[in-house]
Amino acid sequence: MNNNCIENIINLLASAYSIIMIEHYMILLLIIKARNNVNLQDQLLNLVRDHLDKEKRLIETARLNDCVSNDLANTIGEFISNINNGLLMVSDPEFVSSYISNFTDALRIIAKYMVNHEELASKVMTELQRVVRDGMKILM
């Protein structure tokens, strides 16, 4: 693996841990708190949408195509699909209507989605960390 690949992956991991992973737990916390707080309910949908947009941009600009195995590329592809599905969900007029009229059910859907999303993100991050460690061992 070349140095540019390792550098791109390290940059992605640094951004992911400093922004993305922290936001996952902020959103999960907000989901818990929003059950009893109308002001937080108003913020949650926009926060999830903004978060997913940010993740999508980060992954798309990471330039990992030639740096990862087919298996990891497939896992990243699965994660990107998950992001796109989440963006479709929070932008869907039916879901937004349900969010307004039946917040409790919509909150369950968002919670289920975010737990699955966080699991996929963690899987991608763990595999990328392994690639960095392996790449660094070659340099030693």
State the DSSP string of 92-124: -HHHHHHHHH-HHHHHHHHHHHHHHHHHHHHHH
Q: Which ranges constitute the DSSP H helices of the chain?
A: 3-15, 21-34, 38-60, 70-91, 93-101, 103-139
Residue among 50, 41, 40, 35 at smallest CA distance from 91: 50
132/67 Cα distance (integer angstroms): 10
pLDDT at 2 over 90: no
pLDDT at 47 over 90: yes
How high is the pLDDT of residue 61? 86
> What are the backbone dihedrals phi and psi of residue 66, each rounded to the nearest 5 degrees, phi first?
-95, 10
- Token digits of residue 97: 């209507």
Overall pTM surpassing 0.75 (yes/no): yes
Residue among 54, 29, 140 at smallest CA distance from 37: 29
Tens digits of residue pLDDT in 94-138: 999 999 999 999 999 999 999 999 999 999 999 999 999 998 888
Cα separation values, 99 from 51, 76, 89, 110, Å: 18, 29, 11, 10
What is the end-to-end Cα distance of the chain in Å, rounded?
13
Contact 24, 118 (CB under 8 A): yes
